[in-house]
């Protein structure tokens, strides 16, 4: 049974979102899924360009839907003085203002943090940029592909032979989660002090901080006495290829490797100098994983999964996106919801991943058409 909206942690919190594409949109939606009221401000014409990116019905694409549920949309022309004044009034009535425009844009629109915080000191103002507010690239356009390169993801993913993309909008989503966490921390602080904050989030800093714990583990310690070992990326190797699919596994303990060596019928590898301990395996991981994958090629997924499960080795089948809904574990955690939208028809939505007091969060899944709520918002706020 879904949570009542008034029982959610952010019930009563008002957010005004100015955004294009994903970073601010997804961050605002996550706040909305936890009970906040979200008003998305969009320009006339096409609105947020994400509306028309990919498979769509009218002005709502699947990507836009997945980042813009639980919101209302008002259409404002921010080049128009009256609409600028309306946007300013919305901001001053809100708890949170969130945008991902390039540095200087909100100032030109009369919606800069300094002016709004002076008039409403309790406001939380979150500005997301690509490369930050300073430096030679500060005003450059930033998209996920570019940020994957700049933050080190492409080199890490393509190592040791080159560079390659991670084929998902990873950097956009990392930045969204970083912004959401920062906003919630500022809300918590405001409960104690009554004081608002300006929050600056850059995609570049967010992504470096995300990758660094394991991606930079071999670079963190700088002293002369460091014993260097390969980064965590060297431990990934090759998934197990079976006769009817692939399996990912994470052998972290000696006993895990021993289970695998027995499973593939090569117990003698336990004493092989190349694979005898963590250091040796790390140095020879590509050889090891290739050897194991070759041994499992004629086994079925069921055979391999049974052996790994009985030996308590962390493992799971490699699923395609269209296989997720049929997986028993994914069904058990209610990761998806099917429902009928008044405009879009049948829709499947990924549920918010959290539960409060044992109750799964199943909030409003409606995604607004461009300007769908303009009249009601203007009437509600006297715009």
SS3 content of the chain, % helix, strand, coil (to 5): 45, 15, 40
Contacts 24+ apart (CB under 8 A), 142-147: 142/203, 142/204, 143/21, 144/22, 144/169, 144/170, 144/171, 144/172, 147/171, 147/172, 147/203, 147/204, 147/207
Window from 56-65, 273-282, 295-304 with minimum mean pLDDT: 273-282
**Distance (Å, whole) CA 51 – CA 53:** 6
Which of these, 113, 132, 133, lies nearest to 124 by C-alpha position? Answer: 113
* C-alpha to C-alpha distance for 231 and 301, rounded to whole angstroms: 29
pLDDT for 82-121, tens place per residue? Answer: 999 999 999 999 999 999 999 999 999 999 999 999 999 9
Per-domain boundaries in the chain: 5-212+362-381, 240-317
Which tops the pLDDT comparison, 101 or 355?
A: 101
Q: Peptide bond before 160: cis, by omega within 30 degrees of 0?
A: yes
2 — pLDDT class (breaks 50, 70, 90): very low
pLDDT, tens digit (0-9, with 9 covering 90-100), for 217-238: 888 888 888 877 777 776 676 7
* Beta carbons within 10 angstroms of residue 21's beta carbon: 20
Asked if 123 and 195 touch (Cβ cutoff 8 Å), the reply is no
Q: Do domains 5-212+362-381 and 240-317 have the same CATH topology?
A: no
Residue 5: predicted pLDDT: 64
Q: Alpha helices, DSSP H only, in 202-344?
A: 203-215, 254-263, 278-283, 285-296, 301-310, 328-332
Alpha-carbon span 382 to 367, nearest angstrom = 24
**pLDDT value of position 226:** 81
Q: Kindly state the average pLDDT of the residues 51-80.
A: 94
32 touches 38 (CB < 8 A): yes
Burial label for 177, CB within 10 Å (0-12, 13-18, 19+), is: middle
Give dist(CA 227, CA 218) in Å, integer. Answer: 9
What percent of the chain has a predicted confidence (pLDDT) above 70?
A: 97
Please, which residues have CB within 8 angstroms of residue 26's CB and are 6 or more apart in sequence?
A: 67, 172, 173, 176
Tens-digit pLDDT profile for residues 193-215: 999 999 999 999 999 999 999 88
**Helix 170-193 / helix 23-33 crossing angle, nearest 10 deg:** 50
pLDDT at 361 over 80: no
**How far is 177 from 167, CA to CA, in rounded Å?**
18
Q: Which fold has domain 240-317?
A: formyl-coa transferase, domain 3 (3.30.1540)
Paired strand residues for 18:
41, 99
Crossing angle for the helix pair 374-381 and 81-93, to the nearest 10 degrees: 70
Q: How would residue 4 be classed by pLDDT, with cut points 50, 70 and 90?
A: low
Q: CATH classification of 5-212+362-381 is 3.40.50.1220, yes or no?
A: no
Q: Where do the DSSP E strands lie in the chain?
A: 14-18, 37-42, 56-57, 60-61, 72-75, 96-99, 124-129, 197-202, 240-242, 245-249, 315-317, 336-341, 345-350, 355-356, 359-360
């Amino acid at each position: 049974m879904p949570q009542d909206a008034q029982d959610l942690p952010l019930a009563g919190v008002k957010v005004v979102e100015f955004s294009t594409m994903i970073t601010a949109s997804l961050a605002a939606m996550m706040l909305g899924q936890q009970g906040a009221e979200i008003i998305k401000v969009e320009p006339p014409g096409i609105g947020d360009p994400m509306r028309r990116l990919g498979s769509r019905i009218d002005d709502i694409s699947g990507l836009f839907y997945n980042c813009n549920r639980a919101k209302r949309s008002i259409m404002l022309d921010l080049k128009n003085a009256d609409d600028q004044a309306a946007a300013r009034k919305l901001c001053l009535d809100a708890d949170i203002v969130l945008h991902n425009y390039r540095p200087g844009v909100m100032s030109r629109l009369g919606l800069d943090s300094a002016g709004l915080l002076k008039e409403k000191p309790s406001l939380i103002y979150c500005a997301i940029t690509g490369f930050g507010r300073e430096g030679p690239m500060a005003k450059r356009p930033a998209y996920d592909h570019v940020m994957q390169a700049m933050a080190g993801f492409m080199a890490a993913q393509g190592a040791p032979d080159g560079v390659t993309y991670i084929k998902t909008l990873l950097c956009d989503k990392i930045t969204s989660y970083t912004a959401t966490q920062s906003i919630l921390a500022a809300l918590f602080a405001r409960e104690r002090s009554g004081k608002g904050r300006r929050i600056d989030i850059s995609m570049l800093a967010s992504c470096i901080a995300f990758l660094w714990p394991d991606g930079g583990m071999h670079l963190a310690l700088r002293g002369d006495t460091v014993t260097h070992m390969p980064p965590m990326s060297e431990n990934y190797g090759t998934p197990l290829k079976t006769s009817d699919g692939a399996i990912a596994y994470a052998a972290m303990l000696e006993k895990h490797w021993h289970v695998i060596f027995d499973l593939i019928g090569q117990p003698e590898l336990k004493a092989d100098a190349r694979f005898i301990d963590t250091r040796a395996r790390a140095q020879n991981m590509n050889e090891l994983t290739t050897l194991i994958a070759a041994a499992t090629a004629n086994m079925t997924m069921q055979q391999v999964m049974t052996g790994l499960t009985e030996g308590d080795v962390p493992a799971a089948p490699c699923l395609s996106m269209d296989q997720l809904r049929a997986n028993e574990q994914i069904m058990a955690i209610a990761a998806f919801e099917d429902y009928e939208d008044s405009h879009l028809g049948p829709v499947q939505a990924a549920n918010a991943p959290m539960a409060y007091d044992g109750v799964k969060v199943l909030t409003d899944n409606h995604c607004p058409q461009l300007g769908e709520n303009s009249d009601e918002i203007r009437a509600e706020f006297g715009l």
